[in-house]
Structures are given as structure tokens and as C-alpha cells.
Amino acid sequence: MPASTRHHRALAVFVHCLGILAAVPALPPAAPPAAAAQPPPAAAPTPQPAMPSVPPAVPTPTRAAPPVAKPPVTVAVAPESTPAPRYRIQVRNTGSTPVDTTVRQELPAGASATAITAGGRATRAAGKSATEVTWRLKLPARSTTTLGTALSTAPQGRPLTAPACAFDREGNRPYDCATATWKAAAPAAAPERAEPPPWRRTPVLLAGLATVAVLAAGGVWTWRRRRRPVAAALAGEGPGTVYPRPAAPRPAYARRKPSVWLIVPVAAVVLAGTVGTAAWTATREVAGIDTDSQPTSGAWIGQGISGAVGEPLRESAFEFTVYRVACEPGRAARQCEATVGVRNLTPEQQSWHGRLQRAYLPDGNFVSTDEQATRTANQGRDVFAQPLAAGSRTVLPLVFTVDGKAPPQQLELRSGVFSAGVRVDVP
């Protein structure tokens, strides 16, 4: 290749490089990192066919329980300080609209109402052995209505518990419940007489003299026993002497060791007793938490407690109060509805289950909560689906489907399978 041609090509390459270097400063500055990080606008999504959701691979944690809504009607019951049982019931409408309500007060078994205020009447509902007092009220907005009942005198001043509940106009959905126990006033104590000091009481003086006499007799007997050998030695009678004789050497006896044939059986008996006791204790604990067993006398957590309708009973996590139990009449398979108050006493939310709530029949069999009927009684809400918030309280109906005409004799309520639970006797 001629030299001129090579020079022209080198010059062309040099000029081309200069042109590139001159064009670089004219380029727009680089975008900032934040702007560069932004993704480009997405195109409009094309419609896709709906796909079924896939369950998560691991269970999701329990959602926090929502706070329990306050009912529009609240109830408070207080006993009166009277010789005969008397109760004061305050029904309050906290809403801004009038509310039609039915108030029912459960009377203790064997008690009868002697006075009822504000147009109430005593009735015996179907499927109930106890009497109840019923009022039908129309509560004005933001008002308080006071009701009252007086009962026949309690036998021997026995405490009487009479819970009261406010329901909707049909008397099915409970708004709120409360309970109170009347106790007879303690009789005035007679003035105590001033007692003399202990050293001036006759029994104390006699006991002191007897003690002194016994000590004196014991001292005389001991002194005479020690003086007898010395007196005999001084008188020269017998072998007595005032000088101690050297002790005669005692023959050495070999210590007897227990036989091996005795140690082995004793150790075997102790081991068998220990293993048997441990197995018996474990068997009782397992039977105590069996979900198909009879009422338990104790489980791993807490101690079982029994009470009557209207008494707040506390177990490991919840405080249960059964306010009312009523059954449908005249059916072979009928529903019994229990109005129950549940309070979470722990600082954490707690779950509970319908299968653990039981109604025991007179023949010894039991039935668990009818969850579908319970949902219907709670306006379609599943009361066991979400846990109870810490410190919250709710009043709700639990429905049990039982066979036979006899109502349940006892309810067993518990927060968990390892809880001893509470048992409520149904009148």
C-alpha cells in the first residue's frame, strides 16, 4: 500500500476519534439513582381467568380478636339490706333511640316472689323447674329504669342468688346479664365480758399446783434413789463403796451386717411401689383430660369448681356465669339454651371450642354444644371462630340438643382441653 494512502487512513481515524470525544459532553446527564430505580410504567393488564387461591404452606397466626361491641342495654343487680331477700335491678339504655326489651330474673329453687314492681309477673317457663319474673319494657333513649323483687324468707338465712338478664323484644337474644347474692344480716353480737387474767383463772391455778406437786414428788424420789448406795457404804452393809471401781473390760462384739437376701427383696418392694404410684398418677391425669370422659375432678391446669346458676365460677383462663337454662317442651330431641357470660381474665387473647362445652343428662350421658344451632341463636355469628380479647366479657346463648324429656342436670364449661373447667348444677 502506498505511504500516502496509509497517512490518509491514519488521519481519518484520528479525526473520527476527535469527533467522538467532542460529542460526549453534549450527551444528557445520567439520571439520578432514585429515578433510575423507578420501573417503567406497566402496561394495562390483560384480563386473566380467575384461579383458585392456594392455601398457605404454613398456618397463619391467629388474628387479634376485635373488641366486643357494647350492648345498647346494660343490667346491674344489687341485694337489699332487708330481713327477707330483696333485689334491686337497674336496666339502662345507653343508646340514642328507644329500645323494647324483655327482662327476666331467675329465682332460686324453692323461692317464690312476694312483691314485684313495675308490672312484672312471676311465671314458670316451659322446660324449667324454677320460677322467673318477667318484665316487658320500652326503654327511652339514655334512660335508667329500676325494678325490684322481694322473695319469701330464706330458710335459716341461707344465701340466695338471683341473676337477671335483658333480652330483645322477642326474648331470644341477650343484651346483658348481671347477678347478685342476698345474705342475711349477721345478728348483733352480745357484749363480751372482761375475762380475768390467766393467773386468776381456776383451771390455770389447779394446773399450776398439779405441776408443782409432780415436780416435787419426782425430785424427792430422785434424791432418795441417789442417797441409798452412799448410806449403805458408810454403814458397812453390803458391797457398797464410796470409791468407784474400775470398769471391767467388755467383750468385743462384731457388728452384724444385714443379709444380702434381706436387702434385695426390700429394695425390690420399694422400687415396685414407686413405679406403681407413678403409673397410677399418670393414668389419673390422662383420664382427667379425656374429652369423652365424665365430669373431671381435676386436670393439668387449675382445680375443678362447682356452683349454681348465677354464681361466677373461675377456672384457669375464663370466668363463667350461667344465668339461665331453658329447654323446648314436648319433643324427643329438643334444644336447651343456656345464657352464659364469659370473661377472659388473662392478659392475652384466648380461644375456646364448642366441643368442650357439655350438658350432662340424668342418665350420665353428655352432649356437646350444637354449633349450628348456637350460630343460629347468635344471629349467624360463630362465637367460637375468633378468640376472646384480653379482659373482655360477652354474654351469649349456647344451644345443646338433648334426647328425652328430662332437662340437663349439669353443665360443664372450660376454656381448653387441659383446663379443669367449671360445673354448674341446673335446677
CA distance 370 to 383: 12
Q: Which fold has domain 305-425?
A: Immunoglobulin-like (2.60.40)
CATH 2.60.40.10 fits 73-182, yes or no: yes
Transcribe 34-82 into DSSP letters.
Answer: HHHHSPPPPPPPPP----PPPPPSSPPPPPPPPPPPPPSEEEEEEE--S
Q: How many helices (H) and strands (E) does the chain have?
A: 5, 20
User: What local confidence, expressed as pLDDT, does residue 57 receive?
Assistant: 38
Tell whether the model's pLDDT for residue 218 goes beyond 70.
no
Q: Could you tell me the three cell numbers for 236?
A: 458397812
Q: 73-182 and 305-425: same fold?
A: yes
Q: Which residues of 242-265 are buried (b: 16+ CB within 10 A; e: fewer)?
A: eeeeeeeeeeeeeeeeeeeeeeee
Largest Cα separation within the chain, whole Å, is 168
Quick one: average pLDDT of 208-235? 64
Tell whether the model's pLDDT for residue 264 goes beyond 80.
no
How sure is the predictor about 230, in pLDDT bands with cuts at 50, 70 and 90?
low
CA atoms within 13 A on the CB side of 338: 31
Residue ranges of domains in the chain: 73-182, 305-425
User: What local confidence, expressed as pLDDT, does residue 4 receive?
Assistant: 52
List pLDDT tens digits, range 134-170: 999 999 999 999 999 999 876 777 899 999 999 998 8
Tell whether the model's pLDDT for residue 171 goes beyond 80.
yes
List pLDDT tens digits, range 110-143: 888 999 998 899 987 655 656 899 999 999 999 9
Tell which wins on pLDDT, 193 or 308.
308
List pLDDT tens digits, range 320-366: 999 999 998 877 789 999 999 999 999 999 999 999 999 999 988 99
Tell which wins on pLDDT, 231 or 52.
231
Which range has the worst mean pLDDT, 14-18, 92-96, 226-230?
14-18
List pLDDT tens digits, range 65-97: 555 667 899 999 999 988 889 999 999 999 999
158, amino acid identity: R
